[in-house]
């Protein structure tokens, strides 16, 4: 038994040794697999992190390529590579990047790079290749910008020079070389006491009636008779051999020497004889003694007024008429007369009391109400003034459409009758264009003069962008429809002072503070004070979805109202700029140009 027991023990120990050898071999095999699996897990985790980094880099590269829509393909590729390299850092050198232009403005960016494995090499002895891709639509917007610039007298000297620099910088930044697939256009609206709209004036404010042609003019019923004497008596007796006058005739005396008190007087004939007649109601006892000369002429009518021949003249009694270009009877020229009577193709001028030269030829008779070539009005100084309409300048629109952008065919804007000391801006507006050279040439021509009607400049900034006004402009200069896809409309409004010029009957109003009282009409601005008008315009413009930037220049010394308006009119506080010196003005325009460019590619 003992022998058997020991023999069994030895067999058991042998079995255990044999089984231990198998387990060790199995563990060796399984350990290699487990290490490989762990290696794969580690390398996979690393690959996922690297792939995420690559994806972020490629996504950004695709956006970079898409956003630079105004550049060439090579420039877009450079932008994409620059972004990818910055995101990947040292790893970028081992990556392959491909940028592909696709239809419909799409851009695809793909990247691949090898990733050396570590413990996973136990399972498979080769590196992994990571690949990612991203696709983006080339973004961008059309931009339509109206640059509304103050060129009033307070902008003279270095200010206007600085404004020219600032505006040129903005134009050169906003208007791109490449105008496809997105365009960038700028309009210029210089303003002072009004806005010079150039050849658009007739369509914007309406036509102005021309003159009535003068074909004849007379005041005398016969030739002048020579005077040989006048008595100092009550009544005075005039000697004029063979004068031919009758009692109750009206006569005109001039060029008498000595008794000069009778010169240029209108008198009624009494007690006429062949060679003498009395001057009704004239007591010449205290006059100077007659010495020599003089003539007496019979008048056509009892007031010795001129009678004008003009076919189909259309004037009525009480109308005031202004004359130019009359030959011979030049005393009519550049003077205002009231029509006292009309008969067929003639009309008589009240208060024209004879003594004129003899009419020879030609001449124009003009109406003188608002809407005519000349406007006769009573000034704030209670004097009668006659201003000629500006050929190109306009004032604010009045009536129900004062603060809308309905077409001028439905509601005309105001006319403008400037005084000689406050003329229309020399530089006219320029509708939207992509022509940088033309814009810069117009900017370089800006000069400073006149008062400040900023509300009129603001309105015309709106009109240049408005699709409702597009028919006035060439097709390339017309504003897109409101809400047009991928299109921004922007106004940049700049001023250096308070708005001080409003209008009544197309003349600067009594409650304006921009001109002397003799140049202002005797009524207040029809629409109210200029800042009040401008605020309503700002509200209406923003309701149309138009972005407004404002630039106040040197307003620290101006009224609080001026500063508040510029802040309130802007789209928001970030769009309102206050510049107190020339350097800050340039910086403000540069910042606005950069903001417009950013809006263009990120909206």
Nearest 5°: CA angle at 535, between 533 and 537?
70
Average pLDDT, the chain: 89
The pLDDT tens digits of the residues spanning 485-530 come to 999 999 999 999 999 999 999 999 999 998 788 999 999 999 999 9
Q: Is the peptide bond before 235 cis (omega within 30 degrees of 0)?
A: yes
CATH of the domain at 580: 3.40.50.410
pLDDT digits (tens, 9 = 90+) for 421-441: 999 999 999 999 999 999 999
18 lies in a domain? no
Same domain, 259 and 400: no
Q: For residues 364 and 212, is the Cβ–Cβ distance under 8 A?
A: yes
pLDDT range class, residue 124, cuts 50, 70, 90:
low
- Is residue 242, in this structure, part of any structural domain at all? yes
Considering only residues 87 and 360, tell me which one the structure prediction assigns the higher pLDDT.
360
What local confidence, expressed as pLDDT, does residue 516 receive? Answer: 84
Mean pLDDT over 234-247 rounds to 97
442 belongs to a structural domain: yes
Share of the chain above pLDDT 90, in %: 72
In this structure, the answer to whether residues 33 and 98 fall within a common structural domain is yes
Residues 55 and 152 in one domain: no
pLDDT tens digits for 295-311?
999 999 999 999 999 99
Q: How confident is the model over 85-109, as a mean pLDDT?
A: 81
Q: Is residue 361 part of a domain?
A: no
- Shared domain for 201 and 71, answered yes or no, is no
* Residue 375 forms part of a structural domain: no
Statement to judge: residues 192 and 279 lie in one domain: no
Residue 61 is predicted with a pLDDT of: 79
Whether 324 is in a domain gets the answer: no
Residue 34 in tokens: 């487990």
Cβ neighbours for 520, distance < 8 A, ≥ 6 positions apart: 379, 380, 507, 508, 509, 510, 512
3 pLDDT above the threshold of 50: no
Nearest to 276 by CA among 223, 205, 348, 225: 225
Half-sphere exposure for 373 (CA within 13 Å, toward CB): 13
Tell me the mean pLDDT in the region 188-210.
97
Contacting residues for 542 by C-beta, under 8 A, at least 6 apart: 548, 571
**Contact yes or no for 281/234 (Cβ under 8 A):** no
The closest alpha carbon to 507, from 370, 366, 336, 323, belongs to: 370
More confident residue, 43 or 146: 146
Give CA–CA dist 227/302, Å, rounded: 21
Q: Rounded mean pLDDT of 141-152? A: 97
Co-location of 148 and 126 in the same domain? no
Which residues is 125 bridged to in the sheet?
Answer: none
Instruction: Write down which residue in 137, 154, 185 finishes a domain.
Output: 137
60 and 148 together in one domain? no
* Domain boundary pick from 256, 273, 291: 291
* Global confidence as pTM: 0.78
330 part of a folded domain: no
Question: The domain that contains 280 carries what CATH number?
Answer: 2.40.30.180
pLDDT in tens, 333-375: 999 999 999 999 999 999 778 889 999 999 999 999 999 999 9
| DSSP H or E run through 54 | helix 2-67
DSSP for 495-508, please give it. Answer: ESS-----EETTEE
For residue 181, cis peptide bond before it (omega within 30 degrees of 0):
yes
Looking at the predicted structure, is the pLDDT value of residue 227 above 70? yes
Do residues 109 and 87 both lie within one domain? yes
Cα separation, 578 vs 564, in Å, equals 11
Domain membership flag for residue 544: yes
**Same-domain check for residues 94 and 232:** no
Tell me the residue range of the domain where 59 lies.
26-137
Confidence of residue 122 (pLDDT cuts 50, 70, 90): low
pLDDT in tens, 247-298: 999 999 999 999 999 999 999 999 999 999 999 999 999 999 999 999 999 9
Same domain, 454 and 590: yes
CA dist., res. 471 & res. 458, Å (int): 20
Which of 270, 291, 312 is the endpoint of a domain? 291
422 and 532 part of one domain:
yes
pLDDT band, residue 139 (cuts 50/70/90)? low
Q: Domain check: are 78 and 196 in the same one?
A: no
Query: How many domains, the chain?
Result: 3
């Amino acid at each position: 038994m003992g022998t058997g027991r020991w023999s069994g023990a030895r067999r058991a120990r042998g079995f255990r040794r044999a089984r231990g050898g198998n387990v060790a071999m199995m563990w060796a095999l399984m350990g290699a697999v487990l290490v490989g699996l762990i290696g794969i897990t580690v390398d996979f985790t690393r690959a996922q992190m690297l792939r995420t980094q690559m994806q972020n880099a490629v996504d950004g590269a695709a956006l970079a390529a898409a956003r630079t829509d105004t550049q060439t393909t090579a420039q877009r590729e450079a932008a994409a590579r620059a972004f990818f390299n910055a995101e990947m850092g040292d790893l970028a050198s081992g990556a392959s990047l491909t940028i592909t232009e696709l239809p419909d403005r799409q851009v695809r960016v793909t990247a691949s790079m090898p990733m050396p494995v570590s413990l996973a090499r136990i399972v498979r002895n080769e590196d992994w290749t990571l690949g990612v891709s991203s696709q983006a639509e080339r973004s961008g917007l059309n931009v339509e910008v109206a640059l509304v610039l103050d060129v009033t007298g307070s902008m003279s000297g270095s200010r206007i020079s600085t404004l020219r620099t600032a505006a040129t910088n903005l134009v050169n930044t906003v208007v791109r070389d490449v105008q496809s697939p997105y365009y960038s256009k700028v309009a210029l609206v210089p303003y002072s006491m009004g806005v010079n709209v150039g050849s658009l004036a007739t369509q914007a404010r309406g036509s102005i009636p021309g003159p009535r042609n003068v074909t004849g003019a007379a005041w005398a019923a016969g030739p002048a008779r020579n005077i040989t004497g006048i008595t100092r008596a009550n009544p005075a007796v005039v000697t004029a051999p063979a004068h031919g006058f009758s009692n109750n005739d009206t006569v005109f005396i001039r060029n008498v020497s000595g008794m000069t008190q009778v010169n240029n007087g209108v008198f009624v004939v009494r007690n006429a004889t062949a060679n003498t007649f009395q001057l009704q109601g004239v007591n010449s006892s205290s006059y100077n003694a007659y010495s020599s000369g003089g003539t007496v002429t019979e008048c056509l009518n009892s007031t010795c007024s001129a009678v004008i021949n003009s076919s189909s003249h259309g004037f009525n009694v009480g109308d005031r008429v202004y004359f130019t270009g009359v030959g011979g009877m030049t005393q009519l020229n550049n003077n205002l007369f009231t029509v006292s009577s009309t008969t067929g193709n003639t009309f008589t001028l009240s208060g024209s009391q004879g003594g004129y030269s003899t009419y020879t030829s030609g001449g124009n008779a003009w109406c003188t109400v608002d809407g005519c070539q000349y406007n006769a009005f009573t000034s704030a100084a209670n004097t009668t003034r006659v201003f000629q309409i500006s050929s190109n300048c306009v004032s604010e629109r009045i009536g129900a459409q004062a603060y809308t952008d309905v077409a001028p065919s439905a509601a005309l804007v105001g006319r403008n009758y400037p005084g000689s000391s406050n003329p229309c801006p020399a530089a006219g507006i320029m509708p939207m264009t992509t022509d940088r050279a033309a814009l810069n040439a117009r900017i370089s021509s800006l000069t400073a003069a006149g008062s400040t009607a900023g509300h009129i400049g603001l309105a015309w900034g709106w009109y240049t962008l408005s699709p409702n006004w597009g028919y006035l402009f060439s097709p390339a200069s017309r504003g897109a429809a409101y809400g047009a896809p991928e299109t921004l409309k922007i106004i940049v409004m700049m001023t250096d002072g308070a708005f001080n010029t409003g209008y009544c009957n197309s003349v600067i109003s009594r409650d304006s503070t921009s001109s002397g009282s003799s140049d202002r009409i005797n009524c207040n601005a029809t629409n109210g004070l200029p800042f009040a008008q401008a605020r309503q315009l700002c509200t209406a413009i923003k309701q149309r979805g138009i972005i407004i930037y404002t630039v106040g220049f040197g307003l620290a010394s101006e009224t609080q109202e001026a500063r508040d308006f510029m802040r309130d009119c802007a789209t928001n506080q970030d769009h309102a700029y206050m510049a107190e010196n020339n350097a800050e003005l340039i910086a403000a325009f540069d910042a606005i140009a950069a903001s417009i460019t950013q809006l263009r590619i990120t909206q």
